[in-house]
A and B are shown apart, each in its own frame.
Chain A
Amino acid sequence: MLGQIAYALPFLAQGFAVTLWVSLLVVVLSLVAGVMMGVGLVYGPAPLRWAVRIFSDTIRGIPILVLIFFVYYGLPAVGIHLESFWAAVLALTLFKTAQVIEYLRGAVGSIPKGQSEAAMAIGLTFRQRLAYVIFPQAFRRFLPPWINGVTDAVKGSALVSLLGITDLMHAINQVIGRTYEAMPLYILGAVIYFAVNYALSLASRRLERRFSFIRE
């Protein structure tokens, strides 16, 4: 039994690499898109605020699985054909972006208005105010929910296996299909997912402590 699993390890490692690659893409893309849209939601003109609000509320109201199938099977109907890999990345990114928007709104919204005003009063431009006054303070509040979201993204990436992408989950299922060793392989999978996420939580806690000197 262990021999069979050992034999399958390189295959599982490839799946694990895909899981990490999907997670990384989703986390980075959603961070960039979410922060930009979140800034639009907090500071933008009314039409932009509405657009972001509708986007966020809609996406967050749809189960992620539905979103994945919608992007992969639904979008071709309107002429958008995506490879399964990119369809999955897009769907997960949309989902995560909506969450990042809300984390950002919460974090930035928690900074007292006087901070922006003091920054304005010394003549900082909008971008400078964000970069040097608002974001450094909001970061500490943004971080914990965001890292939580990152671990969700790693776990949620297992859903891409449903589009036939050979990530860790799919690889495990395939090995089980050949070896019929379900229990040890699922435990192995669980341990790998746990190890990644636990490492992330530890990193998060260190970062939070690093920024805890900021008191109001």
Chain B
Amino acid sequence: MSVTPPANPALLDVSEVSKSFGSVEVLRSVSLQVTRGEVVTVIGPSGSGKTTLLRCVNFLESYDSGSIRIDGKEVGFRETGTRQRRSERDLAKMRAETGMVFQSFNLFPHLTAAGNIMLGLRKVRGKSNTEARAIAEHWLGRVGLAHKADSLPAELSGGQQQRVGIARAVAMEPKILLLDEITSALDPELVGEVLEVVRSLAEDGMTMLMVTHEMAFARDASSRIVFMADGGVSAVGPPAEMLAAEFDNERLRSFLARFRASHF
């Protein structure tokens, strides 16, 4: 093994990760690299392992073999070669380096919009109440919700809740942002406002790995698209190539054909 790191190391390096739920293999030797500033979109039929892959990256799910590294550091296991799970404290630290936005928002219902963002800043980043509040207000402004800082999640629309969810994740200044079908639970007319926020983060150079069914958005906003099928990476490439009708991957073509049939 070489001692010096490669010139342009991947920020996220998923290497031959496999995982089974009982007898069902949900991830089959998945490898995937994301470099700093890249926006990588994972598409594929339901059950192809997209969400599981995302959840392995911040170790909400463990995996059976392979490795996942962020900035060169193994995410869930100690680097002793014995594949020992990290301590609870270490895992919490590692998870603070990744941000995650959920399909079902998962805002804390007992805290205000600002409170949702401030919790991690205060308890994980050790910011004072005043600092945390200022950061929360900054990010609420960025997602167009400066006026909703003191609203409870139940008082916000789905699109607004999800924008708070994004603000909560990025306020922690994660190295990479994981977006798990973040518009799937939204009414169609609210999808645009959320994607707009994601687009502006991408323009700022935020590294992102996202799972989405918004093909138009994936095409416009991604640097690369990963097509997963049956738990494995079936094809990877730039969006223009991948989504072109003549792309040389039978499964991807039939997935896109079925997708188009059901969405238009």
- B100 near A: Cβ within 8 Å? yes
Interface segment out of the listed B19-27, B102-110, B209-217, B223-231? B102-110
| Contact of A124 with B106 in the complex, beta carbons under 8 Å | no
- A86 near B: Cβ within 8 Å? no
A114-B106, A136-B110 known; A121 vs B98 contact (CB < 8 Å) = yes
- A66 near B: Cβ within 8 Å? no
| Contact of B108 with A133 in the complex, beta carbons under 8 Å | yes
Instruction: Report the number of A-B residue pairs with Cβ-Cβ less than 8 Å.
Output: 75
A114: which B residues are within 8 A, CB to CB? 102, 104, 106
| Contact of A137 with B109 in the complex, beta carbons under 8 Å | yes
Distance in angstroms between the alpha carbons of A133 and B123 in the assembled complex: 12
- B206 near A: Cβ within 8 Å? no
* CB of A25, distance to nearest CB on chain B (Å): 31
Q: Which residue of B lies closest to A121 (CB)?
A: B100
How many chain-B residues does the 8 Å CB contact rule pick out? Answer: 28
A114-B102, A117-B60, A213-B152 known; A123 vs B120 contact (CB < 8 Å) = yes
Distance in angstroms between the alpha carbons of A207 and B110 in the assembled complex: 15
Question: What 0/1 readout, one digit per residue, does chain A (106-133) give for beta carbons within 8 Å of chain B?
Answer: 0000001011011111111110100011
B97: which A residues are within 8 A, CB to CB? 123
B120: which A residues are within 8 A, CB to CB? 122-124
Q: Which residue of A lies closest to B122 (CB)?
A: A132
- A209 near B: Cβ within 8 Å? no
| Contact of A124 with B100 in the complex, beta carbons under 8 Å | no
Q: Which residue of A lies closest to B107 (CB)?
A: A118
B60: which A residues are within 8 A, CB to CB? 117, 120-121
| Contact of A120 with B102 in the complex, beta carbons under 8 Å | no
Question: What 0/1 readout, one digit per residue, does chain A (176-216) give for beta carbons within 8 Å of chain B?
Answer: 00000000000000000000000000000000000001111
Distance in angstroms between the alpha carbons of A114 and B119 in the assembled complex: 16
| Contact of B152 with A122 in the complex, beta carbons under 8 Å | no
| Contact of B109 with A122 in the complex, beta carbons under 8 Å | no
| Contact of A122 with B106 in the complex, beta carbons under 8 Å | no
Near A by CB (< 8 A), chain B positions 125-167 give 152, 154
| Contact of A115 with B108 in the complex, beta carbons under 8 Å | yes
| Contact of B102 with A123 in the complex, beta carbons under 8 Å | no
- Of A112, A115, A122, A126, which one neighbours B88 at CB under 8 angstroms? A126
- B53 near A: Cβ within 8 Å? no
* CB of B82, distance to nearest CB on chain A (Å): 20
B83: which A residues are within 8 A, CB to CB? none
| Contact of B102 with A124 in the complex, beta carbons under 8 Å | no
- Of B88, B92, B106, B152, which one neighbours A118 at CB under 8 angstroms? B106
A119: which B residues are within 8 A, CB to CB? 108
| Contact of A123 with B93 in the complex, beta carbons under 8 Å | yes
* CB of A40, distance to nearest CB on chain B (Å): 15
- B169 near A: Cβ within 8 Å? yes
A125: which B residues are within 8 A, CB to CB? 88-89, 92
| Contact of B152 with A121 in the complex, beta carbons under 8 Å | no
| Contact of B92 with A123 in the complex, beta carbons under 8 Å | yes
| Contact of A121 with B95 in the complex, beta carbons under 8 Å | yes
Distance in angstroms between the alpha carbons of A132 and B92 in the assembled complex: 15
A136: which B residues are within 8 A, CB to CB? 110
- B124 near A: Cβ within 8 Å? yes
B123: which A residues are within 8 A, CB to CB? 124, 128, 132
- B172 near A: Cβ within 8 Å? yes
Seen from chain B, the residues whose Cβ lies within 8 Å of a Cβ on chain A are 58, 60, 88-89, 92-93, 95-100, 102, 104, 106-110, 119-120, 123-124, 152, 154, 168-169, 172
